[in-house]
Amino acid sequence: MTKLNRRQTMALMGAAAFTPMAPAVLRAQTAGLPDTMIWSTYDVGSTGYVEATAIADALIKAHGTRVRLLPSGSGVGRLLPMLQGQASNAWLANELYFATRGIFDFATPDWGPQNLRTICGRPASFGIAVTEESGIETIEDLRGRRMAYAAANPSVSIKVDTMIASKGLTRDDVEVIEFPSYGDTLRALTQGQADAAGSALTSAALNELEASPRGIRWLSFDPNDAALWENMNEIAPLFSPFRETIGVGVTGKDPVDIVAYKYPMITVKHDANADETYAFLKAVHESFDAFKDAAPIMERWHIDLISSVPLDAPLHEGAVRYLQEIDKWSDEQQAWNDGAIAEIDALREAWPGFLEANSGLSEEEFATAWDEARAKATADL
């Protein structure tokens, strides 16, 4: 994640903490916002925290609503405050996909598929970086080559698995080399221990690779290759085409066709107040000019980008109502949203019976059995 220096972080935290009193409450109520909100976010200094802080500051100044940020370093830690009613919303990444499907950390009797919705999410790019010296130029060229994976990091692993599946490859087709952490997978490229790794295009660890004799190249994903995107969507329907102009080894003059997912996604429970989710998205949209220059990435909170699908969970009815009102909602978006809701409903309907029949299994057996049950429950959708 992008880091801020101490002065920048403290300045932004101070801005978010400032909360005007009585007149501010009236302004918040007039805008349809709660007079106080708590947002569960990524850790202090992360990109997600910076973005939440910038938007909180804009809403405080425009509407006077009090905003408190509640940072956490884990997906479960970001979800729990919202599910327990201690936070108004949660700013999530792929843990939202895992939670709504009941997989990875959520494939346990205590969790299972969660009924969640999004208000919006901004596109974030992700790709497969290779060393220039490897000679790898296409996804197909990865066959038999050394692919770095991070241990116990499903958020990154599912992206890599999905991207190599775009050309029909699986882990069996590459030489999987496992490293302790995400950062270690990127350093492995510079150190000659791997040929390819999945990464955000702005990862600072890749600067060393770009400057090294090994060099860096990003593999391209043709936005017009229908079969490629169909293959990816069969694994995880999270991605859409994106032409990236910012990143290590990438410029406006030398862009790369890459994949985009959503991070962060502002998430609420399915039964959140529709008027409040409507008002929240409206406030973010109308405050865009006030926060878009807070950091380079903030320009990607433009309404045309944050209203796009797919996301890791369907949009909340209040958000949909606002997008319809401003003519930013299409029949295609509605069809996607209906399908995403149907998937969650099918999984939640299957869960009680599955849990009763499989509660005595080991953790690994339970997760494997749920994968099979999950596939059956959604086979006809």
Pairing mode of beta strands 89-92, 256-269: antiparallel
The pLDDT confidence band at residue 18, using thresholds 50, 70 and 90, is: very low
Instruction: Quote the DSSP letter at residue 250.
Output: B
Neighbouring C-beta atoms of residue 253, cutoff 10 Å: 6
- Give me the sign of the Cα torsion angle 376, 378, 379, 380: positive
The pLDDT confidence band at residue 239, using thresholds 50, 70 and 90, is: very high
Domains of the chain are 6-122+262-354 (3.40.190.10), 125-260 (3.40.190.10)
The residue that leads in pLDDT, 208 or 2, is 208
pTM for this prediction: 0.87
Question: How do residues 154-201 score in pLDDT, each as one tens digit?
Answer: 989 999 999 999 999 999 999 999 999 999 999 999 999 999 999 999
Please state which of the ranges 38-52, 185-199, 263-277 shows the lowest mean pLDDT. Answer: 38-52
The pLDDT confidence band at residue 204, using thresholds 50, 70 and 90, is: confident
- Structure token digits, residue 7: 């002065």
Average pLDDT over residues 66-73: 93
The pLDDT confidence band at residue 30, using thresholds 50, 70 and 90, is: low
pLDDT at 295: 87
Question: How do residues 276-332 score in pLDDT, each as one tens digit?
Answer: 999 999 999 999 999 999 988 899 999 999 999 999 999 999 999 999 999 999 999
Looking up tokens 């109308």 gives 286
Question: How do residues 118-151 score in pLDDT, each as one tens digit?
Answer: 999 999 999 999 999 999 999 999 999 999 999 8
Instruction: Quote the DSSP letter at residue 296.
Output: G
pLDDT over 90 (residue 360):
no
Average pLDDT over residues 231-245: 91
Spell out a b/e string for 24-51, using b for 16 or more CB atoms within 10 Å of the CB, else e: bbebbeebbbbbebbbbbbebbbbbbbb
pLDDT at 254: 86
pLDDT over 70 (residue 83):
yes
Please state which of the ranges 54-63, 248-257, 270-279 shows the lowest mean pLDDT. Answer: 248-257
Question: What phi, psi does 36 have (nearest 5°)?
Answer: -140, 135
pLDDT over 70 (residue 247):
yes
Q: Where does residue 295 rank: exposed (0-12), middle (13-18), buried (19+ CB within 10 A)?
A: middle
The pLDDT confidence band at residue 31, using thresholds 50, 70 and 90, is: low
Kindly state the percentage of the chain with pLDDT values over 70: 92
Prior bond to 264 cis, omega within 30?
yes
pLDDT over 90 (residue 29):
no
pLDDT at 7: 41
Average pLDDT across the chain, whole number: 91
